[in-house]
Structure 1
Amino acid sequence: MAGEGDYTRLDLDAIKSMGTGLGNIKKAFDDIGKLDKYSDDFGHAGLADKFGDFADNWEISREKLTKEVDALAQIAKAAGEAYEEIDHQLAEAIRSAQDPKKREK
């Protein structure tokens, strides 16, 4: 990043939190019931038909969105874990380089 030296700074907590949050959104979409159960409540056949069309479109869109949100959640979780592992490995390499006993091995 410009002005910050030759390194990249990542907020691992934010990345992990994003994965958790997206997982929660996916779960909320999964828990939404089908909207067509409300068709009888409209009292007018034309309005009920229009709502039925909306409900069908919503179901298709919700399924697509749920899959995409789930994929993003998995990516964010995996990225957080991978960056954390890299951070631990780099820290260990620095500690080893600074410890004369380990350098002799």
Structure 2
Amino acid sequence: MAGDSDLIVNVELLVSSESSLKTIKNEFEGLDKRKDSMEKEWGSGQIADAMSDFVDNWEKYREELLGSIETVQKLVTSTIDSFTGLDKELADSTRKGKK
């Protein structure tokens, strides 16, 4: 029957993607905590100032990326829910039709 379908959904890939997006989101959310611990590694002077400026600038873009990651994660979750729900409905109606 799957060969007759025009639409094939790899739910395992979607679930894996959802998990990966959660992991990436968690990593991005924790990045701001690392700045303070890394400052001593930068030394002093111009390099430390440049790194600090970079981290501060990165904060803005990190927030934008977090928003995008969260949006994609919600879309993937919604897609999983929709297709698994539809698959269940079709299976249930097929079973009822065979009785």
The two structures, once aligned, show a CA RMSD in angstroms of 1.9
Cα distance, 1:95–1:42 mapped onto 2, change above 3 Å: closer
Percent sequence identity over aligned pairs: 23
Distance (whole Å) between structure 2 residues aligned to residue 74 and residue 81 of structure 1: 10
Tell me which residue corresponds to 1:15: 14
Q: Would the alpha carbon gap of residues 81 and 29 (structure 1) be closer, same or farther in structure 2, given more than 3 Å must change?
A: same
Q: TM-score, normalised by structure 1?
A: 0.77
- Cα deviation for residue 6 of structure 1 reads 4.3
4+ runs of 1 displaced by more than 6 Å? none
Q: Where does the alignment leave 5 or more consecutive residues of structure 1 unmatched?
A: 100-105
Deviations 1:17-68 (A, max 9, x none): 2112101110111122252554454334222221121111211111111111
Report which of the two has the higher share of helix.
2
Contact 1:34-1:55 at 8 Å conserved across structures: no
1:79 aligns with 2:79: yes
TM-score, length basis structure 2: 0.81
Give the 5 Å matches for 1:28-47. 28-32=27-31, 33-35=33-35, 38-47=38-47
